[in-house]
Amino acid sequence: MKIGVDVMGSDLGPKELLKSCLRFVNENDVQLVIYGNQEELDSIDHPRIIKIPTTYVLTMDDGPLAVKRHPNASMVKAITDCVAGENDAVVSAGSSGALLSCGVMISKMIPGIERPAFLAAIPNTIGTSTVLLDMGANSENSSDHLCQFAVLGHAFAQTTMNIEHPTIGLLNIGTEDKKGDLVHKDAVAKLRAMEKINFTGNIEGRDVLNGVVDVLVADGFSGNIALKTVEGTVLAFNQMIKEVIKTNRLTMIGGYLIKEELTKMKDKMNYQKYGGALLAGLNHVIIKAHGSSNEEAFYNAIRQAHKLVGGNVVDKIKRDLL
Amino acid sequence: MKIGVDVMGSDLGPKELLKSCLRFVNENDVQLVIYGNQEELDSIDHPRIIKIPTTYVLTMDDGPLAVKRHPNASMVKAITDCVAGENDAVVSAGSSGALLSCGVMISKMIPGIERPAFLAAIPNTIGTSTVLLDMGANSENSSDHLCQFAVLGHAFAQTTMNIEHPTIGLLNIGTEDKKGDLVHKDAVAKLRAMEKINFTGNIEGRDVLNGVVDVLVADGFSGNIALKTVEGTVLAFNQMIKEVIKTNRLTMIGGYLIKEELTKMKDKMNYQKYGGALLAGLNHVIIKAHGSSNEEAFYNAIRQAHKLVGGNVVDKIKRDLL
C-alpha cells in the first residue's frame, strides 16, 4: 500500500508533519509518497518513503481555477497521482477549501452524490463511535444533499463498523419532524421515505455525544458548529478540572488518586486521536487533517487513511451506492 | 412589582412550578400573579399570590390563530395582562412556538426589530457571562435579523452587565470574514459597517464558552445547536467524571478530596441556575423557561424576570434603540 502525503500548508509547518511520516513508516509496513517543497523533503530519508518534489502550495485564497493552473502544487499532484494509481490515498493538512476543489475536480464525485462531506467517526459516551457528516465541507446544503449524506454515512457505518442496519438521525433544533427550516423539514420527509436506510428522526445538539444513533447527518454549517462546540467544551472542561485539582494540597492528592482514570477518560474524548475527516462522496480516500495538526494528530490522520484503504472502504461505498 | 407566571404546559406539570412560585414569593418581596387551571390554583395559597384562573393551555400545535381564538389561555391572558399593566413581566415553561406567537401578537415587536430572539447570559470559562442570541426562536434568519440581534445584545450587555462598549461576535464556521453561507457573509459586512457597535468578527463553535466576546450573535438554528451541544457535552462530562471516581477505592477517596471544588465547578456550568431565555425584541419582559424545568430551574426563571424588571431592562433597551 502507498499512502500519498501532502506535507505543505499546515499551521505548524512541514517539519512537524514529516515527524509523523517517519514514525508511521517505521511502525507500519507501508510506503509513503510525500509531496512538498524540495528543501523540506531533503530533511527526511527512509527506504519506504518516496519523495515527490512540488513547487506550489495551494492556500485558502486559491479557487478552483488555481487547481487547473498549478498541476505541480503539492495537493494537486498528490491527488492526480492517486487517480493515476501512483498512490492509494491522500492525506493533507492544507486548506480545506483547496482540498475540496482538488477532490471534486480531480478525484470527482461518486455518481449520485452531488457534494462531498467531511465525515468522521467521533467518540461518544457509550464507548462506541458516531459517524458525523457533514462537519463543514459545505456552508449550506439542500435536503437532497442531506439524503445523500445519509446514504454515505449508512455505507460507511456498514463498511467500517460492521453494523448491518445503522440507525441514522438528522441534527436539528427539535426532535419533532416539523422542526427546523424548510431544508430540514423537507429532508426529514425524504429520509423517512427512503426504504434502504434506518432513519430514526431528528436529533438535538444535546444528544450529539450520547450515541443515540450510529450516523448523525448534519448540514455542513450546523455540523461544523456542533463539532467545534463539543471540542471547545471538552477543552474548557479539561482546563477547569485542572484548576479544581490545583486548588489546595488536599485536592492535589485527590487529583493524584484519580489521575490514571481521568487520563483514560480524557484520552477517550481526545479528538486529536481520531485523525482527520474523510472527504466522503469522492472516488478516492482523501483525508483532511486539521490545519493545526501536531505530530500525533497527523500520525492518526495517516493511520486513518491506512485503515480505510486496507478496508477497501471507498470501493465498498461505491458498490453499495450503485 | 408583580410578576405574571403561567404555570401550565410544562413537562413536569403545574405542581412542580407552583413549588417554585411559593418559594419565590416567600423569599422575595414581590407579588406573583399566577395563571392556570382552577384546580391547579386551588392547591396554593399565599397573601402575595394573586390567582387568575384560565381555561385553556396553548400547545406547540397551536398556531397564531389560536392566540386570537383563546383569550383565556393561560399564556394569552398572562401577556394580555402584562400589556394592560396588571403584571410587569411574564414567565412561562409552555410551548416556545406558542409563547413566541403570543409575544409578537400581544406584546409586539420594538420598532426596528423584526423578529424576537431567545437571549440568555450563559456562564463562560473566564468567570463572566456571554450574552447569546438567538438560541432558537427562529429556524432561519436574514442578515438584517442578525444585525438587529447585535443591537439587542449590545443594549442588553450595556444595561445588565454595565459594559460600556460590549464586544460582539458572530457565530460562524470559520473566523475569516468570507466564511459561511451568504446570510453570514452578508451579515459580517453589515456588522462591520455599524458604527454604534463594537463588532470583532466571526467566532467558531470552539470559542463559545471562552468569553472571547461579551455578546455572541447567532442565527436561531446554529445558536440552538451550539447551546444544546454545550449542555449535552457538560452533562456527558459530569457523568464521565462520576464514573472515573467510582472506579475503585483510591479513586473514591480522590473524588472525596476534590468533591467540594468539583461541585463549585459544576455549579458554575449548571445551566439550570441561569433561568430561562428572554424573548428579546418585544415590548415587555417575557421569559421562556425550559419545558422540562424543575423547581430550581423555574425558580431561577422567575428570579431572572424579577431582576430584569428591577433593572428596567426592556425600557432601557427601547430607549437605547430609538
Q: What are the pLDDT digits (tens) for A178-199?
A: 999 999 999 999 999 999 899 9
Q: Which domain holds residue A172?
A: 114-273
- Mean of pLDDT over chain A: 93
Measure Cα distances from A209 to A123, A191, B269, B271 in Å. Answer: 7, 22, 18, 18
Going by their DSSP bridges, the two strands B215-217 and B117-123 should be labelled as unpaired
CB contact under 8 A, B205 and A229: yes
Find residues 81-140 of chain B whose CB sits inside 8 Å of chain A. 125, 136, 139-140
Q: Which of A139, A181, A251 sits opposite B261 (nearest CB)?
A: A251
The answer on A305 and A239 residing in a single domain is: no
The answer on A66 and A19 residing in a single domain is: yes
CA dist A279 and A120 (Å) reads 9
Cβ atoms of residues B251 and B245 within 8 Å: yes
- Residue B6's nearest CA partner among B59, B46, B68, B65 is B59
CB contact under 8 A, A208 and B240: no
What's the structural domain count of chain B? 2
H or E element in which residue A108 lies: none
Phi, psi of B218 (to 5 degrees): -145, 150
The answer on A61 and A21 residing in a single domain is: yes
Q: What's B138's DSSP letter?
A: -
Question: Which whole number is the average pLDDT over A21-28?
Answer: 96
Find residues 33-52 of chain A whose CB sits inside 8 Å of chain B. none
What is the count of residue pairs from A and B with beta carbons less than 8 Å apart? 173
Q: What is the ipTM of this complex?
A: 0.91
Q: What are the pLDDT digits (tens) for A151-165?
A: 999 999 998 888 999
Find residues 164-183 of chain A whose CB sits inside 8 Å of chain B. 171, 173, 176, 179-182
The answer on B132 and B247 residing in a single domain is: yes
Q: Is residue B277 part of a domain?
A: no
Is residue B100 scored above 90 in pLDDT? Answer: yes
Chain B partners within 8 Å of A176 (Cβ): 60
Substitution target in A261, A262, A264 with the highest count of B β-carbons within 10 Å is A261
The answer on A225 and A118 residing in a single domain is: yes
Q: Is residue B130 part of a domain?
A: yes
The answer on A137 and A80 residing in a single domain is: no
Q: Is residue A151 part of a domain?
A: yes
Q: Is residue A317 part of a domain?
A: no
Question: Which whole number is the average pLDDT over B61-72?
Answer: 90
Q: What CATH code is carried by the domain that includes residue A64?
A: 3.40.718.10
CB contact under 8 A, B226 and A244: no
CA dist A299 and A83 (Å) reads 23
The answer on A257 and A211 residing in a single domain is: yes
Cβ atoms of residues A57 and A94 within 8 Å: yes
Question: Which whole number is the average pLDDT over A279-295?
Answer: 94
Of the listed ranges A129-133, A217-221, B176-180, B316-320, the least confidently predicted one is: B316-320
The answer on A123 and A104 residing in a single domain is: no
Q: Which of B230, B250, B268 sits opposite A257 (nearest CB)?
A: B250
Cβ atoms of residues A146 and A220 within 8 Å: no
Q: Is residue B169 part of a domain?
A: yes
Chain A partners within 8 Å of B232 (Cβ): 204-210
Q: Which of A230, A235, A237 sits opposite B229 (nearest CB)?
A: A230
CA dist A9 and A291 (Å) reads 8
The answer on B195 and B152 residing in a single domain is: yes
Shortest Cα–Cα distance, A154 to chain B (Å): 23
- Residue B121's nearest CA partner among B156, B150, B87, B83 is B156
Shortest Cα–Cα distance, B54 to chain A (Å): 28
H or E element in which residue A180 lies: none
The answer on B192 and B154 residing in a single domain is: yes
pLDDT at A272: 66
The answer on B311 and B204 residing in a single domain is: no
The answer on B42 and B183 residing in a single domain is: no
Counting every residue written for chain A, the total comes to 322
Phi, psi of B120 (to 5 degrees): -145, 150
